[in-house]
Amino acid sequence: MQVYLALVLAFVLSFVFTPLFRGLAFRIGALDHPDPRKRHGRAMPLLGGVAVYVAFWLTAGIALLFTGGGVEFWGLFWGSTLIVALGLYDDIKGLSYKVKFAGQFAAALVLVAYNIRIEFITIPFQEMVFLGVLVVPLTLIWVVGITNAVNLVDGVDGLATGVSAIAALVMFALTMGENPLVALLVLVLAGAALGFLPHNFFPARIFLGDTGSLFLGFMLAGFSIIGVTKQATLTTLIIPVLVLGLPITDTFYAMWRRYRSRRPIFKADNGHIHHRLLAVGLSTRQTVMVLYLSSIYFGLAAIVFDRFSGMHLYLIPLIFIIFLLGVKRLNSIRSLVSTGSAVPPYDDRLHRRDK
């Protein structure tokens, strides 16, 4: 019961704090202004992520006072505080991608310093392989990669918030029996995200900003290491990859698409999965709901593989292949969603908060 009270408290705090930070964003100029590449026609406040951060850590702090916790949770606090400061400065002043990456690696190093590390992996049909000198590089790549993957899907109202909440709820289901404290805190993260969602769902009144999307990605990356990869099962890294399947797939798809087009892989464009769904004629709400269902699809797959560890590992690529085949066939279903009016093709005429 106390676990679910923490969920409710995080939800209420996030819901109440968000309008307060919305007003503050207008006062200090933390706004996303309209331009030819964006769909919103007015300045939008960007401090939603700060409300999520404050709601999460207030609730988590209370929970940790009653339950206790290891030093690694201080690592999550200081690392996430650094990532929020980085995102906040980017939202207000703007930063180059090189500076943002440097800050993200610094935040990831905080986790490493507090012993939040990927120390082993399992290879199919083999014993656990301890990583030795590769512990730090793999941990840094994982944390920065997941942080940016969530940031990249923050292109449609409510998408990154909802996808993060779904991933957090799946992590709760995976850890509640093995690591109750992590399960509690990841449920608090879900509550903070869900409390913000009513303000962020289409039509949004406030955006997460880089502050929020980086924070959610960073926390999911950290919790996946503490609560999921620490479980010595056959599927050490596979389970968190499935949990975060949508943002991971979208990130690799974007990098591959830009590479094939001979464009810089870090240059924003309008080719993400959510852009393609909009391009075939789905509304913003329909696009978000389709991607929520996709996140649930990956989450259920993670739970199934966790519960039935004897399942063949070659089925895991099949899960991603099925999803990608659906993405590839988006253009073929244009006629099913078209209402007779011309549906704009998949190109740069679709504008959003591009990542």
- Segment 258-274, tens digit of pLDDT: 777 777 766 666 767 88
Q: Is residue 351 part of a domain?
A: no
- Segment 109-134, tens digit of pLDDT: 999 999 999 888 766 556 677 788 99
Query: Has residue 231 got a pLDDT over 60?
Result: no
Q: Is residue 164 part of a domain?
A: yes
Q: What is the pLDDT of residue 335?
A: 47
Q: What is the pLDDT of residue 171?
A: 93
Separation CA 281–CA 163 (nearest Å) = 21
Greater pLDDT, 150 or 339: 150
* Of 216, 148, 229, 239, residue with least CA distance to 182: 229
Classified as helix, coil or strand, 82 is helix
Q: What is the pLDDT of residue 258?
A: 76
Q: Is residue 348 part of a domain?
A: no
- Which is it for the CA torsion 151, 155, 159, 161, positive or negative? positive
- Segment 30-87, tens digit of pLDDT: 898 876 556 556 789 999 999 999 999 999 999 998 888 778 999 999 999 999 999 9
Q: What is the DSSP secondary structure assignment for residue 331, as one 8-state letter?
A: G
Q: What is the pLDDT of residue 124?
A: 57
* Of 184, 222, 192, residue with least CA distance to 208: 192
Q: Is residue 347 part of a domain?
A: no
**What is the domain extent for residue 196?**
2-337
Greater pLDDT, 13 or 174: 13
Q: Is residue 349 part of a domain?
A: no
Q: Is residue 345 part of a domain?
A: no
Q: What is the pLDDT of residue 42?
A: 79
Distance spanning both ends of the chain, measured CA to CA: 39
Q: What is the pLDDT of residue 347?
A: 37
Give the count of domains, the chain: 1
Prediction pTM value: 0.86
Q: Is residue 131 part of a domain?
A: yes
Neighbours of 130 (CB within 10 A): 10
Q: Is residue 342 part of a domain?
A: no
Separation CA 104–CA 84 (nearest Å) = 10
| Token representation of residue 195 | 């409390």
Please give the average per-residue pLDDT across 191-195, as a whole number.
Answer: 98
Query: Has residue 348 got a pLDDT over 60?
Result: no
- Give the pairing of strands 128-130 and 31-32: unpaired
Q: Is residue 128 within a helix (H) or strand (E), and if so which, with residue range? A: strand 128-130
Q: What is the pLDDT of residue 268?
A: 67
